[in-house]
Amino acid sequence: MHSRLSQVMGDAVHDGIIPRNPCSRRTSPGQGGQRPYVATTEQVWARHDVFPEHLRAAVLLGAFVGLRTAEAAALRPGDVDFMRGIVSPVIQYPDRQLKSETSRTPVPIPQELALMLSAAVAQGEGRTVVTDEIGRESSPWAIERAMRAGRGKVPGRPEGFRFHDLRHYYASLLIASGLDVKVVQARLRHASAMTTLNTYGHLWPDADESARAAVSVVMAARADSLRTREAL
């Protein structure tokens, strides 16, 4: 918000409306210190198992595709390429188009997950992937109610655990698997890598150790080369 305000003020200076831009590095607020709670894989599956069966697809979409609540509730079978393993978010509940091209970035999924989502679709009327008790479209409120109802059934979860925290788990899963910030940004459909770093930067491996490991590989290769020469 400060950055955008600074742009507006800069334009005002350029147009001669004000003499100088009041926004500066001195007035800029510090970066937020958000440290989202990251559930363990065991906790995610425990959450999945205590969910009502007709809503379990929502947990899968949050934890393994990174969809937000309104996106998961509105996802239609046609938005999922079950053969190729691709989820393409297009709308959010109830039927509003996602605002940006970035939000509509397709997300690849493994075949195992595609099969689980396909089974969920087969149990409903085929309008949405996540359904209510009788197989019709569900809603974000129904998903969040199920999250609240199951909080005490999963050990170790904080009291305020939300559906959006499944998205944090998805981010941590990608980072732990060695994906770089640009790939994680794309999978989370963030507008910029800065958003990804500000939220999840602390989850990446220690930079010092990574640098040591990179140099160590080169040094080890050099030592092997010298030993080979001496042997010859």
Question: Are residues 21 and 120 both part of a single domain?
Answer: no
Close Cβ partners of 1 (under 8 Å, ≥ 6 residues apart): none
Alpha-carbon span 42 to 48, nearest angstrom: 10
Shared domain for 15 and 86, answered yes or no, is: no
Average pLDDT over residues 31-52: 82
Q: What is the mean pLDDT of residues 29-57?
A: 83
Q: Is residue 86 part of a domain?
A: yes
Is there a single domain that holds both residue 23 and residue 69? no
Sign, CA torsion 177/182/187/188: positive
Do residues 55 and 25 share a domain?
no
CATH code, 151: 1.10.443.10
Mean pLDDT of the 166-181 span = 93
The reply to whether 69 and 174 lie within a common domain is: yes
Query: Do 110 and 184 reside in the same domain of the chain?
Result: yes
139, 145 contact by CB (below 8 A): no
Asked if 170 contacts 62 with a C-beta cutoff of 8 angstroms, the reply is: yes
Domain span at residue 64 reads: 41-203
Domain count, the chain: 2
pLDDT tier at 31, thresholds 50, 70, 90? low
State whether 80 and 142 are in the same domain: yes
